[in-house]
Structure 1
Amino acid sequence: MSDPARPPRIDFSGFAEALRRQANNPLQHRPITTAISRPAQQSRLTEVELIWIEQKLEHWIRFGRIAQERIVTRRTRIMGFRPGAIFAFVRWMANDYGTVSSRIDVVRAVNAGEPYTTLPFVRPGGEVLLHIESWPKVSQVLAAIDAVEAASVDPCDAAPDHWRHVHNRITAGQEPRAYTLERHRAWLRRREIEG
């Protein structure tokens, strides 16, 4: 019998399964591996370090358009995102007794010269649209991401204000409003007018 005060032990079926889910999701864009030869171009990307030590330390990208992928070791990869790209970065850690920490951040990669917030495993950092800790709340964010996809919208293209809204509502213990196709169309029109 599990202790209700302790978050349940998460049984991730592995990094390969997470990648398979992404590949099977029609709304999820597959990683694009590009060879960027000049260091100046590479430094413009926001780099995220993904680590996968089964049932101990697991980092993955829930959504985002990956501009570059670099495999460092069997357990470590570096993903690069172009300025303006929005992505969700999930970090989970456990020990022999269960989940130690779980976090999710929805981040916008910044342009050179823009202010940014530093985050572990994200270089140089980014504009944090959502930051949630503890597995029950992280699972609510994952459900909100699923709801955006159910509305036939790629979460990368959803309005940044929606992710701020989700952050504020979940932090306050309330249910976030659904992201509908109408709200998405309104966001696209606003972006056209501002752009």
Structure 2
Amino acid sequence: MIDDRPSAVRGGGAFSALARDGLTHVELTWIEKKLEHWIRFGRIAQDRILTRRTRVVGFRPGAVFAFVRWAANDFGTIVSRIDVVRAVAANEAYTTLPFVRPGGDILLKIEGWPKVSQVLAAIDAVEAAGVDPCDAAADHWRHVHNRIAAGQQPRLYTIERHHAWLKRREIEG
């Protein structure tokens, strides 16, 4: 027998129940010093608390957010990762990502705490320039990814570059 209920689609559970709203959902878990998933930046459109340690946040299509995942065991850090993702609309192609449903357009994907801390510093630099990281050019996050992956320092995101990005976006419509 095939179960055709909406909750049976794509793994069931809280994600599938929320998937019908057109948002990109991210499951966040916080178990102090063991498993920590959090949003570094992003405009959250929906926030649902599932348990004391777990919640699901939703982002509208086109929203850009940074998702940090960290886990440790008795011997130290075992996972350290940051992804900068653009939430996609229902008809857009996407890349799957753990804890993100359905997935998104991955602008930056970095693993390992030394590199993750470089990304966090790049985010801080965007904020220091007076720009909300959600509004920074998608190309900047790709640039940060490529430079860090190549072992080089990313260029700073300046207010002039941001204004150029806004003009380009205005022209492209």
TM norm structure 2: 0.89
State the shift of 1:40 in Å.
8.6
SS of residue matched to 2:140: helix
Which letter does structure 2 place at the counterpart of 1:54? E
Q: Check if 1:83 corresponds to 2:43.
A: no
**Is residue 143 of structure 1 aligned with residue 121 of structure 2?**
yes
Partner Cα separation in structure 2 for residue 56 and residue 41 of structure 1: 28
What residue in structure 1 maps to residue 99 of structure 2? 121
Q: Supply the AA of the counterpart residue of 2:107.
A: L
Post-superposition Cα deviations, 1:125-169, rounded to whole Å, max 9, x if no partner, equal 000000000000000000000000000000000000000000000
Taking only the aligned residue pairs, the percentage that are identical comes to 79
Instruction: Tell me the SS of whatever aligns to 1:138.
Output: helix
Q: Deviations over 1:23-58 (max 9, x none)?
A: xxxxxxxxxxxxxxxx79853000000000110000
Establish whether residue 156 from structure 1 lines up as the match of residue 134 from structure 2.
yes
Structure 2 counterpart of 1:124, one-letter code: P
Q: Look up the match of 1:21.
A: none
1:189 aligns with 2:163: no
Q: CA RMSD in A?
A: 1.2
**Where do residues 7-156 of structure 1 align in structure 2 (5 Å cutoff)?**
42-156=20-134
> Given residue 152 of structure 2, which amino acid in structure 1 is its aligned partner?
Q
Distance in 2, matches of 1:135 and 1:68, equals: 29
After superposition, the Cα gap between the structure-2 partners of 1:41 and 1:128, relative to the gap in structure 1 and judged at 3 Å, is closer
- Measure, in 2, the Cα distance between the counterparts of 1:43 and 1:122: 15
CA distance in 1, matches of 2:18, 2:99: 20
Poorly superposed stretches of 4+, deviation over 6 Å = none
For residues 169 and 137 of structure 1, the distance between their equivalents in structure 2, rounded to whole angstroms, comes to 11
Please give the per-residue CA displacement for 1:67-92, whole angstroms capped at 9, x wherever unaligned: 00000000000000000000000000
Q: TM-score, normalised by structure 1?
A: 0.79
Q: Distance in 2 between matches of 1:150 and 1:40?
A: 35
Match of residue 155, structure 2, among 153, 160, 177: 177
State how far apart, in whole Å, the 1-side matches of 2:139 and 2:36 are: 28
Pair 1:149–1:175, CA change in 2 (3 A): same
2 CA distance for matches of 1:140 and 1:96?
25
Cα distance, 1:113 vs structure 2 = 1.1
